[in-house]
Structure 1
Amino acid sequence: MSMRHALCLAALACLLAGCAENDSLSDIQARGELVVVSRNGPTTYYLGRNGPAGFEYALAEQLASELEVKLKMEPAFSLRALFSHLRRREADIAAAGLTLTGKRAAAFPHSIPYDKVRTQVVYRAGRFRPRSTADLPGMSIVTLAGSSHADSLATLRDSALPQLTWREIRGADTMELLEQVREGDAQLALIDSGEFAVQQSLFPRLRVAFDLSDEEDVVWYLPPERDNTRLLVRINAMIDRLRADGTLARLREQHFGHTAGISRIDSHTFTRAMHRALPPWRPLIKRVANEYQMDWQLLAAIAYQESHWDPKAASPTGVRGMMMLTLPTARELGVVNRLDVAQSLRGGARYYKNMKRRLPADIHEPDRTWMALAAYNIGMGHLEDARVLTEHQGGDPHLWREVMERLPLLQKSAYYKSLRYGYARGSEAVTYVQNIRHYYSILQWQEIPGNNAQPPLDIEPLVPEAVREVSLLAL
């Protein structure tokens, strides 16, 4: 080979290597790691008892699995910091429930939509409720700095409401906005509909005043000035497939399905009981849950659904105690005194674990937990009837969301007459499980702040003013 040919081949190799370096998918595969920046919170990404969790985490984990690389989640403590990660190429994707806006689309490549939300104006019940944007001037409004909501307010001010003012909160957690409205530090907060639906259980006195926008697309954003073509093809293909095969709907139901059907009054009652009635029993609940290898929050949620954590609870039908055990069930479980809290909790935990053990092995989590709870309430036979009915109607009897739709049919003679175990109050079982899921999530979310990295300390206020402008020379 001539020297000239060798140089040409070397130059071509360098060009190809340069292209590969600029291609984001090649970079990810070369280092064996997908870096995703996200907001820390119950609707996006957080560290639960069993490790990373959240809707955005589940989607990112799916992509990392398809790319056959490890997933590394990076929390951002403000929206500006989140997009700065992309600009500095410190992350491959921003997955944080981010809406698609013209301003963002002009600056960052993005995926196809995988969800839709509306911007909602939230106020505290019992206070003045604005009915339209015309009522906003003169009211104290908070929103996240760098958010699309702040941009919407700026557009409103510049186009029609010159007296409109608001405060922008530095951070990425919308819970801080809701806390300000709850405590009276602000009258209104702007928040996405999906986030408020999930977090309203923690703020039962807050309500939606009106929708500030129509539905907006939610997308993933990628770093600018980088060849993201192949990575976007993979991301968009995954989103299309997850939507088509029902996985996206299942993930939404898994993370957000518990929010439907819970009244504001129920949430308020639970939140109050969580602070007043639960603390004396929490150590015992944790100890019993540990004995039976279950989440203490789940055992606590079951106990609340049964008795509102009242150790002396009783009903006209003869069930008694914190776990509201019948006398025959108590005898079967070895519970001598149903009013003894430890015995009651152990009996309830044992009964739940028995139901879970008896389910078919091909029912996987989290559906296995929800179906065990349904069996706890309605009986294994009636649950099996609902699963058979689900399969006959073309549904998947391994998925709670599909079995849940059929349980109420056990109350209709057109259906229960042909089933093995006959009539059952299936609607009550659905309410029972969904309530427990709701309470369970609230108890889990209460621990999120303690399980996650804290934002970097702002040291400027701690530095004496006399030395703030002093530069240090390198040695």
Structure 2
Amino acid sequence: MQKKSKWIVFLLFVLLVIGSLVFKYSPLFYGSDDISVEKGGHVSIKTLDVAPEQLTASQEAEIDKLVAPIPPNWVGDFDGIRKRNYIRILVPYSKTFFSVDRGKQHGIDYDFGKALEKWINKKYPSQVKTRPFAVLFIPVKRDQLLPDLVAGKGDIAAGGLTVTADRQKDVDFVSPFASGVREVLVTVPDYPPVSKIDDLSGKEITIRASSSYFEHLTAINTRLKEMGLQPTTIISADESLESEDLLEMVNAGLIQATVVDRYLAQIWLPLYTEMKINDSLYINDTGELAWAIRKDSPQLSKMLNSFMKEHKVGTTFGNILVKRYVENPERVLNPTSKEEMQKFENLVELFKLHGNTYNFDYLMLMAQGYQESMLDQKARSHRGAVGIMQILPSTAADPVINIKGIEKDPAKNIEAGAKYLRFLTDKYLSDEDITPSNQTLMAFAAYNAGPGNLLKFRRLAEKSGQDPNIWFHNVEYAAARITGQETVKYVANIYKYYLAYKLVTAMQESQKKPLTN
């Protein structure tokens, strides 16, 4: 029982800290008469059947206005780029590098790209006098940056890429905008001291397999083996997670350690105050950050090298950019409450029951409940949404749901939320091409923004050349363009909580297994 309580305490501490670190947004108006979105992402639903299964002609016309032309795949050099009058930059969708909030773009790569656009228009006057040269940003999964570049889906791959020998086999890099970049170990505060290579022996470190950190840790493991020492255990992180997400997870104590560029750790340290940057040993201290281009592009390389000479770190522009992101991150509070310690234990069986009844992963449902109310049945919104799943009594009483007593009974509240989620899934996401996990993620989006908006998100994604059946890196981009970051953050936070639950329950299960020789 003591071990069980220990895991409950740990899990709830993790979720409390993560919950306190999520970004807070002002209420957003989503252009739907059927829903109203409150601060924190809670939704009050006026009617259950809030949207038809198809968009109207006028709604289709609204979507068409948002559709940007899909640049065709193309390979060539700067002379061809000038003739078509635009350059495509592939970027990872990230709070640090590139994000969109109702049409407004942000991030380091966005600022660099707009500076490039201005510079090109000054240095190379447009060959189409009525239309200036433009930079187009194309968000892709981080592990697809270089493959998509080679395939001709973009002309430049950005995203704070480190120049490595393996990457240089496939692409060329232009002059770096930052040199001498140090890759640091970032850990929980009570992590054992690491001051030399030997100290990494046997440690668990979580990183993306597509990162330069993976290459450098693999090289360190080779050295450790040569020294007769146990190598580090490299845990491959979900590729949908960016470095700032892994830092958040370290800060919450969910993972023990990760590796990032030191400047990234500095950007997020004022926000993630419960993590420790290890400056006693660098995983790599000769890193160069640069944009990647296709091989055999000498004209593009020459042009970008000239641009970087005037804009890299150390120049006025570069220093202003670093100052903007390193010294002014968004700050939030970090409250904790002992009252949370019994919630997981008290509710997990209810989530298992209703997850099984309505065919959802119970940990996914529980993660949504945590996002909605921090698993607090007493939670109330000013619009009347109640309980763990923040649902209106009138919605729960609708004949399709037909569950009463959700105000006081957590079991009924959880069931009403799960049943409504199943209704959304079956009515709007029944396509066999959608995987169960993507059905659930998009049902969360509909729960938050309304099914009418989900239809718009998927339609815009499809018309923009993205997959309408996949949430991450596809439909979520369209959601950000239409309604801003609220729903994007809502689903992303649930997924992080899900990963937290999944990891901790797996660790609990491993403790139950008998030892074998």
Q: TM-score scaled to structure 2, two decimals?
A: 0.45
Q: TM-score scaled to structure 1, two decimals?
A: 0.48
- Indicate the structure (1 or 2) with the bigger Cα radius of gyration: 1
